[in-house]
Amino acid sequence: MYQYFYDLTGNVIISGLIVAIFPLVNVLLVVLIGVYLERKVSAHMQDRLGPMRTGWHGTLQLIADFVKLLQKEDIASTETDKGLYNIAPVLVFTGAFAAYAAIPFSSKLIGSEIEVGIFYVIAVSGLVVVSILMAGWSANNKYSLLGAMRSAAQIISYEIPTALVILSIVMLTGTLSLGKMSELQTAYFWNWNILGGAGFGLAKFLLIPFMVVGFIIIYISTLAETNRTPFDIPEAESELVAGYFTEYCGMKYAMFMLSEYGNMFAVSAIVSILFFGGYQSPFGYLGNTLNVHWLIPYEQAFWFLLKGWFFIFVQMWLRWTLPRLRVDQLMSVCWKYLIPYAFVNLIIIGIISLL
Amino acid sequence: MKAYLKNTWLGIYTVLVGMTVTFKHLFVPAVTIQYPDERLKLPERERNRLYVNMDDCIGCDQCSRACPVSCIEIETVKSVPGEDLGTTSNGKKKALWVTKFNIDFAKCCYCQLCVFPCPTECIYMTDVFEFSEYERGNLVYKFATLTEEEAAQKKVNYEKLQAEKEAQKAAAAAKPKTEPPSHPATN
The boundaries of the domain holding residue A227 are 75-354
Residues of chain A contacting B20 with CB distance shorter than 8 Å:
none
> Closest residue of B to A44, CA-based?
B26
Residue B82 has pLDDT above 70, yes or no: yes
Average pLDDT of chain B, as a whole number: 84
A260 φ/ψ sector (left φ>0, alpha ψ -120 to 50, else beta) = alpha
pLDDT at B34 over 80: yes
- Over residues B134-159, the pLDDT tens digits come to 988 888 888 888 888 888 888 888 88
Does A11 map to a domain? no
Q: Which of A45, A318, A341 is facing B26, going by the closest CB pair?
A: A45
Pairwise CB contact (< 8 Å): B30 & A317: no
pLDDT band for B180, please (50, 70, 90 cuts).
low
| Inside any domain, residue A52 | no
Of A126-130, A150-154, B86-90, the range with the lowest mean pLDDT is: B86-90
Q: What is the ipTM of this complex?
A: 0.77
Domain-embedded: residue A17: no
pLDDT at B184 over 60: no
**Per the domain annotation, does A15 fall within a domain?**
no
The beta-carbon neighbor of B25 closest among A47, A318, A341 is: A47
A48 CB-side CA count, 13 A: 11
Which stretches within chain A are classed as H helix?
2-9, 12-45, 61-71, 82-98, 117-138, 142-173, 178-184, 202-225, 237-240, 250-275, 286-290, 295-319, 327-332, 339-354
Q: Which residues of B touch A341 (CB under 8 A)?
A: 8
Q: Which residues of B touch A (CB under 8 A)?
A: 7-8, 11-12, 15, 18-19, 21-23, 25-32, 34
Write down the pLDDT at residue A129: 85
Q: What is the pLDDT of residue B177?
A: 60
Residues of B in contact with A52 (CB under 8 A): 34
Q: How many CB atoms lie within 10 A of CB A23?
A: 23
Of the CA atoms within 13 Å of residue B153, those in its CB half-sphere come to 6
Does residue A341 belong to the interface with chain B, where contact is any CB pair within 8 Å? yes
CB contact under 8 A, B31 and A317: no
Average pLDDT over residues A9-23: 77
Higher pLDDT, residue A58 or B178: A58
End-to-end alpha-carbon separation of chain A, Å? 37
CA A264 – CA A324 distance, rounded (Å):
18
Whether A41 is in a domain gets the answer no
**Domains delineated in chain B:** 50-164 (3.30.70.3270)
Residue B94 bridge partners (DSSP):
none
- Count how many domains chain A has: 1
Within a domain: A241: yes
**Nearest residue of chain A to residue B19 (CA atoms):** A321
Reported confidence tier of residue B46, pLDDT bands at 50, 70, 90: confident
CA distance A333 to chain B (A): 10
B156 vs B90 pLDDT, higher one: B156
Contacts of A194 (CB under 8 A, 6+ apart): A208, A211, A212, A215, A275, A276
pLDDT at A262 over 70: yes
Sign of CA dihedral B117, B123, B124, B129: negative
A82 in B contact zone (CB under 8 Å): no
Distance CA A88, CA A81 (A): 11
**B15:A322 CB<8 A:** yes
Residue in chain A nearest B21 by alpha carbon: A321
Render the burial of A26-55: b for 16+ CB within 10 Å, e for the rest: bbeebbbbbbbbbbbbbbbbbeebbbbeee
Q: What is the mean pLDDT of residues A260-272?
A: 87
Q: Kindly determine whether residue A49 and residue B34, on different chains, have CB atoms separated by under 8 Å.
A: yes
**Separation of alpha carbons B102 and A45, rounded Å:** 49
Residue B20: alpha-carbon gap to chain centroid: 54
Judge whether residue B10 has pLDDT over 80: yes
Q: Could A43 and B30 be called an inter-chain contact, meaning their C-beta atoms sit closer than 8 Å?
A: yes
What whole-number distance in Å separates Cα of residue B76 and Cα of residue A276? 85
B138 CA to chain A: closest CA distance, Å?
29
Residue B176 has pLDDT above 80, yes or no: no
The answer to whether A48 faces chain B, any CB pair under 8 Å, is yes
Residue B103 is classified by DSSP as: E
Q: Which pLDDT does position B17 carry in this prediction?
A: 92
Mean of all residue pLDDT scores within chain A: 82
Residue A134 lies in a domain: yes
Contact A46 B15 (CB under 8 A): no
Provide, rounded to the nearest whole percent, the portion of chain B with pLDDT above 90.
4
Could you check whether the bond before residue A230 is cis, i.e. omega within 30 degrees of 0? yes
Task: Tell me the chain A residues in contact with residue B18 when contact means C-beta distances shorter than 8 Å.
Answer: 321-322
CA distance A170 to A178: 10
Nearest to B105 by CA among B81, B78, B141, B76: B141
Top-confidence residue, A72 or A9: A72
Q: Which residue in the set B8, B15, B28 is minimally distant from A337, CB to CB?
A: B8
Amino acid at B52: V
Q: How far is B131 from chain A (nearest CA, A)?
A: 22
